[in-house]
């Protein structure tokens, strides 16, 4: 295999950048050890949360042999990491689409094999990213001088990809006992890169963002994108080496698919949008879904929104779903900030059956007041938002992976410069607001949703039109592409 840290899509890296990539890999080897010769086992286990609805099996590494054989005909691996909630959510969409198309989804989280160098490397980077994300919300100067530039231009450079490729070599050993001809969809670039270094034969790299960055390159895989806007940026590797004109990515390596969305959400778009408009027409409480991501940031912004909405909740003009994910401390802090919150709220805490029942009943039933959700299980914490989405009227979220979902959206201030392009795309497609960069503009949008019908109707009409155009079929298309690679 060619050294993908030296030459990336025909573009030679400088000796300085290559040396830095080598030094980074050596640093991790010193910290976490070299397990490149390890013969790690792999077995399949039913995923406790996702097996029943989506047929998902976990791939467990270094836990001995299992009794369930890999299905080399219908099996498809969704390779991911937990870094925030975004990559898990995209993985759920891929698993949902795979099941709907008749395939068996295997869940492979490279951040879950605690005794391996792979997971130790990812865990350290995940901790740093989460810390930086939260710090950026508290320190404006850090956000301006460090976090925004890193997320916007730092990750955009080929030198960053060169370092990642070396790091991915340390992740390859976890694939030792996995059949190499099973297609793999990477919903983060590291699983895609690691799979290629491990000799996996059919790899699709599902790029999550709408801002082209070298961070997301996994040469040797087929790259998929959710938006036409980002196509040319990836095709010509625009700005990936400052102002230098680069050799382009081959056309066959880049495919537009549309948004990566769960089958259950896509299949019910018309029904759910019609229900939103009917509730609005009947004067029922408008349901706002607040989803706090895996980094646990933006608590202060959510507190401001909740305080503003409390009078409307009491007057039965609004209802709130608040999903704090697996961050119970965030809920506790919100209750300290807003003394009324606890007494006005019905909590659905760490009871997955209760959450499922509420989510299903809310699709056709009445909802009032505030409903809070917390689950310590990561799958439940993430999937909770997906379940609540169908019965919600408006989703309040930063413009991350949720920017692409088929529900009317109010975009909160971004965390990282790359995220702003998610809001821009959604506004262009008509299914979301502009990014509200401060509290007053956020409250302005909430007022529009509450006091008039036009904004909600506009977004619902656009969502239905977008479905007709195939905008939300991306997960299906990625799965089809991965299986087609195998058939060839």
387-438 per-position pLDDT tens digit = 999 999 999 998 989 999 999 999 998 876 778 899 999 999 999 999 998 9
The whole-angstrom separation of Cα 409 and Cα 95 is: 24
pLDDT at 151: 72
pTM beyond 0.85, yes or no:
yes
32-61 per-position pLDDT tens digit = 999 999 999 999 999 999 999 999 999 999
pLDDT at 139: 77
Reading the block at residue 37, the tokens are 């010769």
Q: Cβ–Cβ contacts within 10 Å for residue 105, how many?
A: 26
Mean pLDDT along residues 89-93: 97
The whole-angstrom separation of Cα 359 and Cα 19 is: 52
Could you give the 3-state DSSP secondary structure of residue 410? strand
- Taking the CA of residue 414 as centre, how many other CA atoms within 13 Å lie in the half-sphere pointing to its CB? 23
- Beta carbons of 57 and 77 less than 8 angstroms apart: no
271-315 per-position pLDDT tens digit = 999 999 999 999 999 999 999 864 555 778 889 999 999 999 999
125-150 per-position pLDDT tens digit = 877 777 777 787 777 787 777 777 77
Mean pLDDT along residues 80-86: 85
Total count of residues recorded for the chain: 488
156-176 per-position pLDDT tens digit = 999 999 999 999 999 999 999
Nearest alpha carbon to residue 403 among 268, 216, 259, 225: 259
């Amino acid at each position: 295999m060619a050294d993908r840290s030296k030459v990336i899509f025909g573009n030679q890296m400088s000796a300085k950048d290559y040396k830095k990539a080598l030094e980074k890999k050596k640093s991790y080897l010193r910290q976490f050890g070299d397990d490149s010769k390890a013969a790690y086992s792999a077995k399949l286990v039913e995923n406790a949360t996702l097996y029943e609805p989506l047929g998902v099996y976990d791939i467990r590494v270094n836990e001995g042999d299992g009794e369930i054989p890999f299905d080399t005909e219908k099996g498809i691996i969704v390779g991911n990491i937990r870094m925030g909630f975004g990559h898990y959510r995209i993985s759920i969409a891929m698993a949902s689409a795979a099941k709907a198309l008749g395939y068996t989804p295997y869940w492979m989280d490279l951040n879950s094999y605690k005794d391996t160098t792979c997971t130790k490397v990812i865990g350290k980077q995940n901790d740093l990213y989460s810390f930086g994300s939260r710090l950026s919300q508290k320190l404006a100067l850090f956000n301006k001088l460090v976090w925004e530039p890193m997320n916007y231009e730092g990750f955009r450079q080929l030198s960053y990809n060169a370092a990642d490729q070396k790091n991915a070599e340390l992740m390859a050993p976890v694939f030792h006992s996995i059949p190499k001809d099973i297609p793999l969809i990477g919903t983060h670039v590291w699983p895609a890169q690691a799979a290629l270094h491990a000799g996996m034969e059919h790899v699709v790299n599902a790029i999550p963002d709408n801002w082209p960055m070298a961070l997301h390159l996994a040469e040797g895989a087929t790259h998929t994108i959710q938006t036409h806007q980002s196509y040319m940026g990836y095709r010509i590797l625009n700005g990936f080496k400052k102002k230098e004109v680069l050799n382009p990515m081959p056309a066959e390596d880049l495919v537009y698919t549309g948004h990566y969305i769960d089958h259950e959400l896509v299949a019910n778009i018309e029904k759910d949008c019609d229900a939103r408009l009917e509730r609005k027409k009947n004067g029922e409480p408008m349901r706002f879904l607040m989803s706090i991501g895996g980094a646990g940031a933006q608590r202060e912004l959510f507190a401001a929104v909740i305080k503003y909405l409390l009078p409307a909740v009491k007057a039965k003009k609004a209802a709130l779903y608040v999903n704090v994910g697996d961050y119970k401390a965030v809920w506790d802090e919100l209750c300290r900030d807003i003394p009324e919150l606890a007494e006005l709220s019905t909590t659905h805490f760490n009871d997955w059956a209760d959450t499922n029942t509420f989510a299903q009943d809310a699709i056709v039933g009445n909802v009032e007041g505030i409903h809070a959700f917390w689950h310590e299980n990561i799958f439940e914490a993430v999937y909770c938002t997906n379940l609540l989405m169908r019965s919600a009227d408006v989703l309040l979220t930063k413009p991350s992976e949720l920017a692409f979902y088929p529900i009317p959206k109010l975009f909160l201030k971004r965390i990282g410069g790359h995220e702003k392009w998610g809001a821009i795309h959604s506004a262009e497609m008509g299914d979301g607001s502009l990014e509200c960069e401060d509290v007053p503009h956020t409250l302005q949008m909430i007022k529009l949703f509450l006091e008039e019908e036009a904004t909600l109707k506009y977004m619902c009409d656009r969502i239905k039109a977008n479905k007709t155009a195939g905008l939300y079929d991306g997960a299906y298309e990625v799965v089809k592409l991965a299986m087609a690679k195998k058939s060839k």
